[in-house]
Structure 1
Amino acid sequence: MESLFSAMIVLLLVTFSWFTSSEALTNNNGNITIKWDLMSWTPDGYVAAVTAYNYQKQHSITRPGWKISWKWTKKEVIWSIIGARITEQGDCSMFKDNIPHSCVHKPTVVDLLPGTPYNQQVANCCKGGVLKPGLESSFQLSVGNAGTSKRTARMPVNFVFTAPKQQYICGPSKNVRPTRFITADKRRMTTALMTWNVTCVFYKAT
């Protein structure tokens, strides 16, 4: 009887934990959605466009701005990045000629400041990490040592979104319908090769 009672308690605790996490990731006050669009293949990886959307109704990201980090699933490196910067290069000593922008297994990205040279920008970048409700912030990176097909490319895991005096909880990545883009002249539509979404919700103020 005691063992049955203990089993019921464990089941209730697991159920409560599941509902709590589910409720957090469907917060009615909105969320931060990170979209990872795989745009094209390269000889050893791919080019990705990454965008953070602030769907929150009440929380604005102020300076010194947002930070986004993740963990690679293999031995990926970042050859280059436009519209943002990786905070640490890491150990790239295994590369002799062309040196990657970052070889860190858990890279952290920060936005560039206003006034960044035009050739280092992408659309919706370079706001010093400020992200007001209803707006978005983007950057583009070239990933190496990664898969070069839909079958072998892997989305990073363990995403973390941080902001000044705010804590967020990020859920797992989800493979969703590829994003469609329209050119500046509005005369041509293009489609991402693959798209993943990560949802992060406000947890508490710090």
Structure 2
Amino acid sequence: MVHAHHATVTLENYHQYRHVDKPGWKLGWTWANNEVIWSMSGAIVTDRGDCSSYSGSQMPHSCKKDPIIIDIAPDVTQNRSDGCCRGGRLSARAVDYFNSFSSFEFEVRNVGGKENSLGQAPNNVTFMAPGPGYTCSPFMLTHPSVSLDLGGQRQVPVAKTWKSTCTYSSFLANKSPVCCVSLSTFYNPIITPCRNCTCGGCREADKNTLSCIRPGDPLGGSNDEKNIIECTDHMCPIQVHWHIKNNYMNQWRVKLTISNYNFNRNYSNWNVLIQHPDDGVALFWGIDYYNSELMHSDKDRIGSVTTEVLMEKDPSSFTLQNGWAFPRRIYFNGENCDMPLPDTFPMLPN
């Protein structure tokens, strides 16, 4: 008798501002016994493994002890399941809730235990999005949930539910900051730049390195695995510039510019979170089919998006003194950007 069961896996991104970008997530685990994935819809296992002990017209989808699962593209018309097929992307929850989760289904066979047993939870859960930074807890047995049938019109109880929580750490994902902030104003000609060497080791002036190329120099062969950026004093792939353009009686106008110094990486569905000195926040993201993709740089130009924002102010509390018009923190795709020191902010004229 074949011991088997059907399972649905749902990935939910609870982070409000950090999304999972292409090439997409990778989910992995280690089976507790000799389980195999007999069939799968809505995703695929990257390695079939050794299935030489099986024969017949239908073979297992994967016999790997430690399978790695990836999403399939949205335009795939076959082998789909409900809530699947987002190309590995998970949107930030505050930006696009509907696309912040993804699901896939599969059939497990060779489940150990007695008849009608659902086996043991897999071990060693891993989640890459698409690189490191996430640490996942063991699967924990929770109150059985329900699955949706008939296009979500009917609830079907399930036999068992396991959950794992994966937490993100910028320190694990990145050895140094990935973005920096520069400031300028209409009332002071001095620009406060990003701090030197913010995102990497300092380089000798006017020299290319393994990780950067001087503006105007030929790019050479492309290598998608390496993040080659334009050589700058700050050496950051992303720079956010906050410029106070005008100061009106009841509003103030700011020009926000996000620059991408990568030569071979675009940022899809980017977002920028501004934390103001009074702890209020403003969230910005691109418009579909217009500027939702922050394009890479090339030898002739820097990839960038820009917008102007008119913000209402409270005359009883607003003042340009002491940097009130400058943000306290700026986050790009959920990553904390390096801010200039307060004593370097553009000063008001005497």
Shorter-chain TM band: 0.7 to 0.9
RMSD (Å) for aligned C-alpha atoms: 2.0
Give distance in 1, aligned partners of 2:102 and 2:127.
13
Contact 1:73-1:155 within 8 A present in 2 as well: yes
2:65 maps to which residue?
Answer: 105
Distance change in 2, residues 1:109/1:43 (3 Å): same
Contact 1:166-1:203 within 8 A present in 2 as well: no
Match of 2:14 among 55, 58, 62: 55
Distance change in 2, residues 1:181/1:47 (3 Å): closer
2:167 maps to which residue?
Answer: 201
- The 5 A counterparts of 1:8-157 are 43-97=2-56, 98-117=58-77, 119-134=78-93, 135-147=100-112, 151=117, 153-157=119-123
Alignment deviations for residues 177-203 of structure 1 (CA, whole Å, 9 cap, x no partner): 111234447664311110000000002
Distance change in 2, residues 1:71/1:182 (3 Å): closer
Alignment deviations for residues 132-156 of structure 1 (CA, whole Å, 9 cap, x no partner): 1232111001111014656551111
Give distance in 2, aligned partners of 1:87 and 1:149.
30
Looking at secondary structure, tell me which structure has more helix per residue: 1
Contact 1:70-1:157 within 8 A present in 2 as well: yes
Contact 1:180-1:192 within 8 A present in 2 as well: yes
Secondary structure, aligned partner of 2:167: strand
Contact 1:150-1:194 within 8 A present in 2 as well: no
Between Structure 1 and Structure 2, whose CA radius of gyration is higher? Answer: 2
Q: Are 2:140 and 1:174 equivalent residues in the alignment?
A: yes
Contact 2:49-2:64 within 8 A present in 1 as well: yes
Distance change in 2, residues 1:186/1:81 (3 Å): closer
Give distance in 1, aligned partners of 2:151 and 2:53.
43
Contact 2:28-2:68 within 8 A present in 1 as well: yes
Give distance in 2, aligned partners of 1:185 and 1:78.
25
Secondary structure, aligned partner of 2:22: coil
Amino acid at match of 1:45: A
Contact 2:25-2:127 within 8 A present in 1 as well: yes
Higher relative contact order (CA 8 A, sep 6+): 1
Alignment deviations for residues 96-119 of structure 1 (CA, whole Å, 9 cap, x no partner): 1131110000000000011111x4
Contact 2:3-2:116 within 8 A present in 1 as well: no
Give distance in 2, aligned partners of 1:129 and 1:123.
15
1:11 maps to which residue?
Answer: none
Tell me the number of residue pairs that the alignment of Structure 1 and Structure 2 aligns.
Answer: 164
Q: Unmatched 5+ residue regions in structure 1?
A: 1-41
Identical columns (%): 34
Amino acid at match of 1:176: T
Amino acid at match of 2:109: G
Q: Unmatched 5+ residue regions in structure 2?
A: 94-99, 175-350
Q: 94-103 or 60-69: which moved more?
A: 94-103
Give distance in 1, aligned partners of 2:80 and 2:152.
21
Distance change in 2, residues 1:150/1:167 (3 Å): farther
Give distance in 1, aligned partners of 2:118 and 2:6.
14
Give distance in 2, aligned partners of 1:44 and 1:151.
8
Alignment deviations for residues 142-173 of structure 1 (CA, whole Å, 9 cap, x no partner): 11101465655111111000013441000111
Q: TM-score under structure 2 normalisation?
A: 0.44
